[in-house]
Chains A and B, each alone.
Chain A
């Protein structure tokens, strides 16, 4: 018993227990405990995001089925059919889930002042690792369910599943992790969770798109060996395209103006596999590095 009011003199030593010593094992335990705690804490968020995924899937079915009922035949190739579920709206889905899971990852501790309770108990590195792993895992579960549903529909329609769906799923995992690290980086200097989520969605959906549109219009892209690899959302294009890679990775459209020479606009369809791999890898590394740096710096300012 911790305290017995009837007992005036208490021998302190009898209450002492041998705590786990600090060091690598404690660090690993802290990461594991953080993962477990974050699973519980993000359960509601997970359910909401899963419902969003299911809604998007149902929407995809409705679109494809209604097209079929209107006389537009479904694609002859099952891979093309799957692409129907993984086009632009799937990128949006990944961005939303990345923002929802990553938005609170750091900013929340500063806005709610939970940092004062947490930081004396564990290191920021352990906390960040645990949180990223747990939230990424929840994202992966959502993705997995979405892909399983797609597989189910594909089997119903074609009685087969293209093996390239594994490539697509692999890229989806990689891209979603990159998006999560991007939002985590935003979260490291944002004031609160809502701002982080909104900024994350706006930057990825609007700012990145505007930059890539501007670059396409400027005519600079055809001279560039590494097109748009610095724009995170560009990598999302590999998720559907990896089902069956196009022969040419870009489209060039020519516009004839009223006066002067015609203008050629190059639109990149997908990054190459090697480019996407290293590009995402570098993105993740740089974003995580800055997230941790800002996170630590923020603490030293005493916010």
Chain B
């Protein structure tokens, strides 16, 4: 068994009456990494987090957490022991308004068994870490959402856990506060913490996560490193422009191009497509993204007398595109003003292979 795995979900499922909030999730989180848990609102992120915090019991499946050097199945009997080493921030942190952050942190630290004689020092460290010294002794009811969020993260780490679970830590915050929270998370990683972070803010996750798990409608649809996911997100669409005006015989021209390039695109015949955008006078060819195939297509087109004045593969490679394609497979995506559900199908295939 891998000694680096800190948390493992095995076929984790949560059903509310007939609705599957989380369905059959398998996930491993290793020591010292940041795993981003992405999904649109209502995808099942918070439900998963709550099951990890034992606030909800799974309908099926298991959660395994490393405790005392070995992975142990989370249950009602050992939850106090296993969750002792985890700091949670579940959804928007709400605090009692008539107390100060210092009092809250002190209370939470003592609840988690932090040594009494060290709590005050620990709070001072946290104050310094989060830059809270100006308002640590003021009543929480006067605080902004960003300040409350900082206290939320501070309360999650006050007892110095090895694993930190943050559910939507930047939701509703202004850009400055988001950057601060992101920096805090990176600092935590730097001191060796394992972080499981859920968010629907793609940019936030792409900035800090080592691996990303994407969940939609309760199903885990991808789990990989950012590099691999970005590679999959590559558009793989050739854009080229011809000299002159091809509108007069565009249909026959498209048919001819299809016959030339389909054997060279590197993808199965039924997923191929070639398209022409009238407004920009650009042709598009969907291919597998390999440069060798790209070169073969260019050579074939030139050989067949096409007078190409521009030929390129625009770099997209953003997590956002992959995310949208996966969570919205029915389309509604606009790739250069064209909807192509077959593109989505290809990506779905790629993801299915990866998850399996």
Task: Say whether A2 contacts B126, CB under 8 Å.
Answer: yes
Within 8 A of A (CB), among B64-115: 80-81, 83-84, 86, 88-96, 98-99, 103, 107-108, 110-115
Is the C-beta of A194 less than 8 angstroms from some C-beta in chain B?
no
| Known interface pairs A117-B94, A120-B53, A302-B56; A1-B125 also in contact (CB < 8 Å) | yes
Cβ-neighbour of A116 out of B94, B108, B111, B126 (below 8 A): B94
| Known interface pairs A2-B126, A2-B129; A121-B152 also in contact (CB < 8 Å) | no
Task: Say whether A116 contacts B91, CB under 8 Å.
Answer: yes
One of B185-193, B220-228, B315-323, B325-333 at the interface: B185-193
Cβ-neighbour of A19 out of B16, B84, B155 (below 8 A): B84
Is the C-beta of B57 less than 8 angstroms from some C-beta in chain A?
yes
Q: A83-124: contact bitstring with B at CB < 8 Å (1 yes, 0 no)?
A: 000000000000000000000000010001111110111110
Task: Say whether B94 contacts A22, CB under 8 Å.
Answer: no
Is the C-beta of B260 less than 8 angstroms from some C-beta in chain A?
no
Task: Say whether A44 contacts B50, CB under 8 Å.
Answer: no
Cβ-neighbour of B160 out of A15, A34, A44, A121 (below 8 A): A15
How many Å from the CB of A117 to the closest CB on chain B? 6
Given A2-B126, A2-B129, A113-B92, list of 12 further CB < 8 A pairs? A2-B125, A10-B191, A19-B113, A20-B113, A34-B107, A37-B107, A41-B96, A108-B96, A114-B96, A117-B89, A117-B93, A120-B88
Contacts of A302 in B (CB 8 A): 16, 47, 50, 55-56
Task: Say whether A17 contacts B114, CB under 8 Å.
Answer: yes
Residues on B lying within 8 angstroms of A by beta carbon are 16, 47, 50, 53-57, 80-81, 83-84, 86, 88-96, 98-99, 103, 107-108, 110-115, 118, 122, 125-126, 128-129, 152, 155, 159-160, 187, 190-192
Task: Say whether B113 contacts A22, CB under 8 Å.
Answer: yes
CA distance A300 to B56 in the complex (A): 5
Q: For residue B184, which residue of chain A has the nearest CB?
A: A3
One of A25-33, A60-68, A163-171, A278-286 at the interface: A25-33
Is the C-beta of A251 less than 8 angstroms from some C-beta in chain B?
no
Contacts of A253 in B (CB 8 A): none
Contacts of B80 in A (CB 8 A): 22, 26, 123
Contacts of A44 in B (CB 8 A): 98
Q: For residue A126, which residue of chain B has the nearest CB?
A: B111
CA distance A2 to B113 in the complex (A): 19
Residues on A lying within 8 angstroms of B by beta carbon are 1-3, 10, 12, 15-22, 26, 29-30, 33-34, 36-37, 40-41, 44, 108, 112-117, 119-123, 299-300, 302
CA distance A114 to B99 in the complex (A): 13
Q: For residue B54, which residue of chain A has the nearest CB?
A: A120
Q: For residue B21, which residue of chain A has the nearest CB?
A: A302
8 contacts across the A-B interface (CB closer than 8 A)? A3-B191, A19-B84, A19-B159, A30-B110, A36-B107, A37-B99, A114-B95, A121-B111
CA distance A188 to B152 in the complex (A): 25
Q: For residue B155, which residue of chain A has the nearest CB?
A: A117
| Known interface pairs A116-B93, A117-B94, A302-B47; A12-B191 also in contact (CB < 8 Å) | yes
Contacts of B190 in A (CB 8 A): 3, 10
CA distance A10 to B94 in the complex (A): 32
| Known interface pairs A12-B191, A37-B103; A113-B94 also in contact (CB < 8 Å) | yes
CA distance A104 to B168 in the complex (A): 27
